[in-house]
Structure 1
């Protein structure tokens, strides 16, 4: 991730969406895959609003009153304004969100009052697999392979999505991510064979029908990349980057993501939704860095802060948006834009305007760890404007 420090002063309000707190392996699934009838996105979002010093007197009460929330709604939160059904597909969830008048009104209010938003997002399944490719690049990788690392990481994620159950079972068999040196070669051989079995099933009967840019071709190139490591330096092979967490724990906790955002804006004040388990971890990290007094951050109850409640709405909107991109194809995204009704189109324009203004204010307000293929979809959705200007975190 980036270690850039932003000197400008903001008052940043945060809330998170899809906070799984721990990301780990179980038999044939991730710990978040608890409901077989519901597809759970692996994307964690930490987002909110960024106020400049002269914006301390913004009337959030007026915003809340204008939304005319149901009397049963205790707070102005995403789930209280957008009643997503459990069975919604990512496509349906995004359409439903964009078609919500309260979402549109919140976005309009933020645009009209020149309020910036900030977004940090990470695809936890993608993030958890990156070290495999990065470790392999340490062993006699050519310049071309090194420059193509984003491509290989993208291919590996496509392999995961192609057969998630089989991939997770393979990881469990070798105690991933704790791959000790004696297991390094057997693990890579098993992964290579798993990949080969996947692409063999995709080879068309008539090779003239083969798509050089299709999934089969991608997995074949990934297989060649792994095979070269086995042939060139199998005796030296080890997974030093992978080896770090206990078996089955891909991400032990999410505190580092909070630390990253706080340390990126050292001159700013950070107000976060209360997280009893996260705060002590953040405190200990900054103490170990001897920077306990460097950063101004606090965790408070969301019912005591309307700006945090608005931050929850921002985080929820982006969770829905990014879950759709992760689930869709590039062609799906192109068709999605053409299929928006007037209400959805108006909300989308507000969202795009808000993003553009926020990134113009400060590119570091937007940071994402995304699958390269999803970056391309994002650029199509927002016409190349956003990701190129914001320092994205795909690695």
Structure 2
């Protein structure tokens, strides 16, 4: 009975909504208009670090306009470089690309297929996965702030199973 009341209330409240910005109007399928929050998070959390980013004109312009100060002193802890000129950014691009593909896989794979895929890994693939897990675990032990993910509960569960061997 309680569920029926909750559902009824939800439907009544939804009827009051005038627009659905993610599926109507000028927004189209746009969920995120800027990745600025992801940059700002790291710049703020690690304000005493030096941040080197791949050139991204729109982000650079937004950051220039952002007034970063601490006790009245400007914080200038980032720079943008051409990835061709910086091996660290090139390596970061490779790692980010790999993780992007990995999390896309986790988003799209069924639990059954994930189990099959994990059981069919070659020794080299298992060693690579173990190396990734070790790198993540060391980084996690050092600082939880290094991690910034946006994923569903299912993706997190599949990652915990595939990478860490945690059964749901």
Please give the range of the TM-score, normalised by the shorter of the 2 chains: 0.7 to 0.9
Q: For residues 304-339 of structure 1, what are the alpha-carbon distances to aligned partners after superposition, in whole Å with 9 as ceiling and x for unaligned?
A: 111111111111110111111011012222222211
Q: How many residue pairs align between the two structures? A: 160
Matches within 5 A, 1:215-230: 227-230=8-11
Q: Which residue of structure 2 aligns with residue 343 of structure 1?
A: 124
Assess if the C-alpha contact under 8 Å between 1:256 and 1:282 holds in 2. Answer: no
CA distance in 1, matches of 2:76, 2:51: 8
Assess if the C-alpha contact under 8 Å between 1:263 and 1:295 holds in 2. Answer: no
Q: Which residue of 37, 59, 76 corresponds with 1:256?
A: 37
Q: Which residue of 258, 261, 266 corresponds with 2:47?
A: 266
Q: Which residue of 84, 103, 110 corresponds with 1:322?
A: 103
CA distance in 2, matches of 1:240, 1:264: 35
CA distance in 2, matches of 1:294, 1:240: 40
**1:241 Cα deviation from its structure 2 partner:** 10
Gap runs ≥5 in structure 1:
1-143, 145-220, 386-395
**1:227 Cα deviation from its structure 2 partner:** 3.8
Q: Which residue of 135, 145, 159 corresponds with 1:378?
A: 159
* SS of structure 2 residue aligned to 1:369: coil
Assess if the C-alpha contact under 8 Å between 2:129 and 2:163 holds in 1. Answer: no
Q: Which residue of 83, 99, 103 corresponds with 1:302?
A: 83
**1:262 Cα deviation from its structure 2 partner:** 1.7
Matches within 5 A, 1:283-294: 283-284=64-65, 286-287=66-67, 293-294=74-75
Relative to structure 1, the CA distance from residue 224 to residue 259 in structure 2 (aligned partners, 3 Å threshold; closer, same or farther) is: farther
1:247 aligns with 2:37: no
CA distance in 2, matches of 1:268, 1:224: 51
Q: Which residue of 334, 344, 352 corresponds with 2:115?
A: 334
Q: For residues 355-394 of structure 1, what are the alpha-carbon distances to aligned partners after superposition, in whole Å with 9 as ceiling and x for unaligned?
A: 1111111111112110111111111112278xxxxxxxxx
CA distance in 2, matches of 1:371, 1:234: 23
Query: Higher helix fraction: Structure 1 or Structure 2?
Result: 2
**1:290 Cα deviation from its structure 2 partner:** 5.5
Gap runs ≥5 in structure 2:
none
Assess if the C-alpha contact under 8 Å between 2:54 and 2:83 holds in 1. Answer: yes
* SS of structure 1 residue aligned to 2:78: strand
CA distance in 2, matches of 1:338, 1:270: 39
CA distance in 1, matches of 2:19, 2:69: 27
Q: Normalized against structure 2, the TM-score is what?
A: 0.79
Matches within 5 A, 1:48-67: none
CA distance in 2, matches of 1:324, 1:312: 18
Assess if the C-alpha contact under 8 Å between 1:271 and 1:298 holds in 2. Answer: yes
